[in-house]
Chain A
C-alpha cells in the first residue's frame, strides 16, 4: 500500500499557464515533504520542500502548499515553461525514511 500517492500519472499544460501537481499521503507521522524533478537520462534533483509546521513555501515560480488535515500537498508552477517538462516526484519524510510517490509526468506545450 503506497503511503505517498500521486494519482495523476501525467499532466499537460500550455506554456504560461499554471501547472498544479498533487500529492496525497496516508501517514500522519510524516513531518517534512519534498518535490524532486527528473529529466530523462538524469537523476532526480531537489526542487522545493516544506515542513509540516508550515502551510506554504515559495521559491520563484514554484510554490508548495500543505494541507495537513487533508493529508494533501500540491506544487504550483507559475508561469509554466517548456523547460519544466519532466517527471515530478513527491516525497515525504518520517524519522529516518524518505518515501517517494510514483511521479507525475508534466508536459508544457509551447
Chain B
C-alpha cells in the first residue's frame, strides 16, 4: 500500500535554531516528492518538487534531500524564524499506471513546527 509517514508529528524549536523534518514513503512506482508549507488556516504552499534523479534542492532557508534507494526525504530549515511556524507536508507522487488511482498524490499527515522566540 502506498503510504507516506512523517516524523516527528510535532516539533518546538527556538528562533534561530536549525531543524530537520523526516519523510519516509512506500510509494511505487515513484514519480516525484514534494514538500509543502501550510500556515494555520491557509492552503498548502509548495516549497520544493524533487524527481528521482535529484537528491537535494534548496529554496531559501529550506533544503530538501531525497534518497530514492531508501525511500527517505528530509526537509532542513536553517536559522529558523517565527514565520516558519506551520505544518510541513510531504507529498509523494506515483507514476500513473491506471485510472482511478486516487490522483496518484499521497499526502503525509504533516509535521507541526512551532518556532518560539
**Chain B binds chain A:** no
